Chains A and B, each alone.
Chain A
């Protein structure tokens, strides 16, 4: 607890609790003051009315009767209403009653005043009193003590205390509890963030499972989602870095070894030439990898759709099949285009050609001699579809998404040449077109074994109006 004490006062929860406590106290005091004020006013008015009535009654009596009544008053019920009374002669000397000294501050005009008296039997008392002349040249003073009022005041104050203190205590404690709870959670999150910053990217902010999450947890969930994405991206970058290093190191190592060997035997010009040729081929592969990487970056960063035009996906398929037919033939495979109608689409023609070319190229590469690669297009329910299926080695389920990542090559195909970036280019072009790519295994479809790549473009109307 002490750890949080200095911070506690600066938390929003505590300040809110403190603020609302002050407001609560203020309102309560105001309420009680109002009650007290109204009650006092009522009581004073009642006292005044009583005094006026009694004064009028007494003043109407004969001097003898009045004196007799004053004597009796000390013992009868009237004493409860009129708590102080005194009959004075013209010289202000007490004749009867419990007021033995003349109240100096009281004028003899029948008006009611609040004065302090010193009755014979008690100490100092505050009363409301009036003095009026009565027959016989004497002066009558009657008064009513304000003891009830004092009682009311103490009752009100007591009530205020019993009301206010627990309420204040409660709200302060609630504030402390809330702020402490918040601080504990923030502290836990800070610890998690510290660990993340130190490199523990798999760490997540603590979140309760199940429903009923509060705003802080919803925020934590969002932050965690962001961390998921960041972690994936970082992993990708790290993977790409490793892959670049690996894929460039292999041909570069070959270049170096080859040049070394060639230098040791410089006698034969023919060997020299062959050595240089091999080095150039290997360096060209490095070059191809770098070029493809730059291109992927360009397509991904560009995000431009300036080159988008209406075109026919089926025509692209026709062109690509025509372009790649000799390649398939050279590899001993058949490349077939399934007949179809035109499939309207809005996109970047050059990039779509590249996409189709890479898919077909990839399919031919991974299909053993004697196989078939088929290309088809159709206007699907979700949008235009380009489908490339082969009868090759297929793609294991766990590798189906990974093949689209940069440099990924399935274990079965490490020996096949290429930059390893063809499908990454495809993925980048797919992203630019807001399309989706599905990778699946044809074996499940019932056909012969092989991989199926399906690019599903967004529906025309929803995407770009022509």
Chain B
């Protein structure tokens, strides 16, 4: 789907089924094949996707502010991804943006984040990775005082960030600092798929592909402490994607 100047762009969802609130994605990608795959896959996962094939069409749509998240390819005809991003931010559109790029890691990442991108993914990527990251961007804890609370709760887990203590249903759990950091990250994102790459990036701030199941080992250790055999497991493995802290929502 592309836009042309003679068509109103105020409501790109007019011809579509009602959009799931808060899950509207604008995909700006010139490769038709990738665009189709991503659109289909994300639709299956409950996103509503609008596709623009060029940078200027994408910018026009994005400026309407009707989207909850943007997926922006870097190399685009007419206007390249970073230029779109810069103009968007200059126009005070603060929709979260995930920048896609061909392999050329460090420079691109720095460039993408500097231009105002919120996350970054290199091609080729697994669809689960993209979906999980979009989910994370959509549910990103807003930067308001409530996220600066000193006690985090998720289901039976209670974390005191000042005392650095953890309890699961009144039972105290002793955690090493790195386990504490990992759990804190998960508690802040309950019921959300967290991929191994996301955990390595966000908890440890590393961006490389480990040769071994490094993250699984860390999760395993944490799991043994949080989930005793006789209780309902909270940390669950999501096949093909990563992990999730599954708790009952109040």
Contacts and interface: CB of A to CB of B under 8 A. Distances in A.
B110 A327 contact: no
Given A280-B240, A326-B217, A330-B217, A361 B210 contact: yes
Nearest to A292: B209
B103 A327 contact: no
Contacts of B208: 350, 353-354, 357
Contact of A322 (B104, B110, B178): B178
A454 interface: no
B106 A348 contact: yes
Contact of B211 (A277, A280, A302, A358): A358
B214 interface: yes
Interface in A385-418: 418
B77 interface: no
Contacts of B240: 280
Interface centre among B206, B211, B217 (most CB of A within 10 A): B211
Contacts of B204: 319, 323
Contacts of A302: 104
The residue among A294, A362, A364 with the most chain B CB atoms within 10 A of its own CB is A294
A323 B212 contact: no
B207 interface: yes
B211 A361 contact: yes
Interface in B85-125: 103-107, 110
Contact of A306 (B103, B107, B221): B107
A101 interface: no
A199 interface: no
B239 interface: yes
B140 interface: no
A323 B206 contact: yes
Contacts of B104: 298, 302
Secondary structure type dominating chain B contacts: loop
A362 B211 CA distance: 8
Contacts of A348: 106
Interface string B150-171: 0000000000000000000000
A357 B210 contact: yes
Contacts of B214: 323-324, 327, 361
B103 A294 contact: yes
A149 B211 CA distance: 102
B220 interface: yes
Interface in B59-82: none
Given A298-B103, A304-B107, A307-B110, A327 B217 contact: yes
B248 to A, nearest CB: 27
B221 A326 contact: yes
Contact of B209 (A277, A288, A323, A324): A288
Chain B interface residue bracket vs A: 20 to 34
Interface centre among A307, A319, A326 (most CB of B within 10 A): A326
B45 interface: no
A365 B106 contact: no
Interface in A357-387: 357-358, 361-362, 364-365
A364 B211 CA distance: 11
Contact of A357 (B126, B206, B217, B221): B206
Interface string B177-202: 01000000000000000000000000
Nearest to A281: B240
Interface string A131-172: 000000000000000000000000000000000000000000
Q: Which of B104, B210, B240 is the most central at the interface, judged by chain A CB atoms within 10 Å of its CB?
A: B210
A422 interface: yes
B116 to A, nearest CB: 20
B139 interface: no
A125 interface: no
Contacts of B210: 357, 361
A92 interface: no
Contacts of B209: 288, 291-292, 295
Most buried by A among B178, B209, B217, B240: B209
B110 A365 contact: no
A422 B211 contact: yes
B22 to A, nearest CB: 30
Contacts of B126: 287
Contacts of B105: 295, 298, 350
A397 to B, nearest CB: 25
Contact of A350 (B178, B206, B221, B239): B206
A83 interface: no
A292 B204 CA distance: 21
Contacts of A361: 210-212, 214
B17 to A, nearest CB: 30
B107 A295 contact: no
Contacts of A292: 209
A287 B128 CA distance: 14
Contacts of B239: 277
Contacts of A179: none
B110 to A, nearest CB: 7
- Top-7 shortest CB links A-B: A354-B208, A422-B211, A418-B211, A326-B217, A307-B106, A327-B217, A361-B211
20 contacts: A280-B240, A287-B126, A295-B209, A298-B104, A298-B105, A307-B110, A323-B214, A324-B214, A326-B221, A327-B217, A330-B217, A330-B220, A350-B208, A351-B106, A361-B210, A361-B212, A362-B211, A364-B212, A365-B212, A422-B211
Interface of A: 277, 280, 287-288, 291-292, 294-295, 298, 302, 304, 306-307, 319, 322-324, 326-327, 330, 348, 350-351, 353-354, 357-358, 361-362, 364-365, 418-419, 421-422
Interface of B: 103-107, 110, 126, 178, 204, 206-212, 214, 217-218, 220-221, 239-240
Given A324-B214, A350-B206, 12 more contacts: A280-B240, A288-B209, A298-B103, A302-B104, A307-B106, A323-B204, A326-B218, A327-B212, A348-B106, A350-B105, A351-B106, A419-B211
